[in-house]
Structure 1
Amino acid sequence: MTRRRRPDARQLRALVPGLGLYLLVCGPPALAFPSLAATHPWATAAAFPLLAVSVLLHRRRPLTALALPVAPSLVISLDLFTVAYCAALAVFGYLAGARMSRARPALWFFSAVAAGGLPLAAVVGRTVWPWFSLLLTLLLNVMLPWLLGRYRRQYAALARTGWQLAERMEREQRAVADRTRLRERARIAGDMHDSLGHDLALIALRAGALEVDPRLDADRQAAAGELRAAAGTATERLRDIIGVLRTDDEGAPRAPADASVARLVDRARTSGMTVDLEQPDDTGTTPLPAMTGPALHRVVQESLTNAAKHAPGAAVRVRIGRAGGQLRVAVTNAAPPDGPAAAPVSGGSGLVGLDERVRLAGGTLRAGPTPEGGFTVSARLPTTGALLPESVRLPEPTASERELAQAQHKVQRRLRQMVTVPLALLAALVVLSSTFHLVSPSWTVLERERYAVLRPGAGRSGVESFLPFFALDAPPDGTPPPPHDWTCRYYSVRAGSDDAYQLCFTDDRLIRKRVVHRRDR
């Protein structure tokens, strides 16, 4: 024999909310059953099994759970508002709004109930006024809780998006910190490459001068040649290693340790280069923007390095000046002297990186050969706060920020809908009912000739052939109620009159006909 598994504590805890919901929605039918048992016993008694099914379906089929109480509500009253089902309609309307991801099925359901209520009220009640009450009940007792549920769902989605964004921002902050450290290391490596490459170029230049010095013997000249070749090899290896560390999104470099152009030129002169420097006296003392100073140093350094590589022994002229709020620098080397020279080591990326640095500083760079066979590098740099170049764009919102903005927009839109939609529908209902109130009296007028033909004792089917399709929704004020086993209808004597014809039926026969008058209470 197999032993039955007892439900564990988790399953019992899952049953408690459903049981509580069932007791909540079944309370009003239990209280209203004594008063409705005489007129609608089956519709009232059906509340208990129907609401049990709704409780079971409200998670997977929330719209079906909402639709089940609607049918017995219409059976009890064409107004849709009943004491037995009003709480169930509000509760399941809220749950449908909170659990449904799409609003269109619910809107189609509300439209179907509203459209179906009109012919139902016209055929069964022979009046349209219950339909207006149905629309009002549908709006306030069903749609408004549904909108509250929709708003609660969107607000919960916004809260989840906010927590997800916070977690994502923490991960992104850690990633940004890691990238910042790596980028800073790459910048340091780049500055090392620029500085060491410049020094190695000067060493190679000195070794090349010793290699051709006639005052040295052949062994020393060969040693100087080996030193020049070793310096070139070291430069190439340094370029390869540092090139791996460079990143595409590398920002502006750090300012070099020695940002003085005059000292840079002096070091080149002591290495054997012929360099002529022309600059204003206040160039080294006047403060420059944070990006302009390093860019100026880098332009001069790279130009002297290229001159030492490609035109050893050629004279170099460095000119720095100010004009029109700009700092202009030009480095021009003459044509290299005739004679054998070793092939320079070049990676082809020096001018590209130099152009990027000048561009980030807000300036422009030009480089090219001169008509005399030399080479010139010129740059224009701003002396005041530089504007961002056109290619630099402001950062666009991230995916997380866009997702959070969309969730906030949905919640705000849902809140506006929760306020404006019921008000707009209520205003439309008031206008429609007012228009119908002005037009409908002419539809309920029973002509005097037809009224005179009617005789007590006649069959109901024969009497109805003489009656208008629509009847008054209520008798004139002060009319005494008929006996409980009588069914009475009221028709207007004439449009705008306070008098009405009263026709009462019992056992499908006309039992009484008379004119009733309005009585002030």
Structure 2
Amino acid sequence: MTGTGVRDVVAVGAALGGGAILVAVGDATGPVPGLVPWQVDVAIGVPACFLLLLRRRWPLGLAVVVVPLSAVSIMASGAVLGAIFGLALRRRTVVAVGFAVGYLATTPIYLLLQRELRLPVWTDVVVRGVLVTAAVGWGLYARERWALIQHLGERATRAENEQAARVARARRDERDRIAREMHDVLAHRLSMISLQAGALELHPALTADLHAAAGAIQTGAHEALDELRAVIGVLRHDAGDEPEPPQPGLEAVRDLVADARDCGGDVRFDDRLGAAGTPPGASGRVAYRVVQEALTNARKHAPGRPVELVVAGGPGDGLRIEVSNPVPEGGVPGSVPGSGLGLVGVAERVELAGGRLAHGTAAGRFRLEVLLPWLA
């Protein structure tokens, strides 16, 4: 059974139970209505209770039908209270209050139909007033609570969509930046190939075949450079008129460490590459970007705490980078707020380079581990 079905069963059951109690116990007139036989009272009230199944689709029409029944049937009291609750939940407050007043206005008619009064009249008025006030108040509370839940749900959905958009934008920006860097690097390399092939073509000691081969190399380099500019050269317009310089390689990591130390940071650099040297090309550029972002995050979120940087690996094992630092006590962030998207761009670079990235907090330390292939 769905949640709506369960609520319907509870609503009808509560109306039937409440009406049955009132019929059995009675009110100011005694346990059994006077001029209206209890069988007629029940015959009117039970269908009214089942009419609560229509409270969602026709709350106003339901109230118009069942509220007048309280003048002749005490069994219908549960249905009347349920209808007024539905009005308070789904319609304007003034409408629910109006029908609540109408329900109280039927009290004199109901009392006139009784044979004798066992209790003071005010007891019946007070009981009805308390019940209908509770129904209206509960309905208003449920309406405000439902509106608050919807508002919070919309805010959560909007926040998730905005975060997803920021992540997608960060990935796109990082890919554009990578494309611009590769454009600068490859354009320089192809230009050098073209120049060297042109110089070789003019060398007087070469045979005709070698002259032709050098000319073909120069022509191919020119065509490749034109195609490269046609494919990704347009990305330069996203970054302004000035081209973005190529990213430094892993050999420039020591400069990053020195800059961090000059700013007061405690960076402990463990270079385990040794005779393996540094990987040229894409791996070195990605590694530099990883270290740069890791040291920036450490300075933002854990200022004044020691940072351990380990760089290891070789041509057969790949390039491994580990950065770790203690987490501030109580999770208090650093003085500089972060966007939370720096690692998204790093992860995008690492993934495009064929590597793996993992980060997280364990044993009071934040760790960032990256494994990159040793690309030429």
| TM-score bracket for the superposition, by shorter chain length | 0.3 to 0.5
Instruction: Provide TM-score, normalisation by structure 1.
Output: 0.33
Instruction: Provide TM-score, normalisation by structure 2.
Output: 0.42
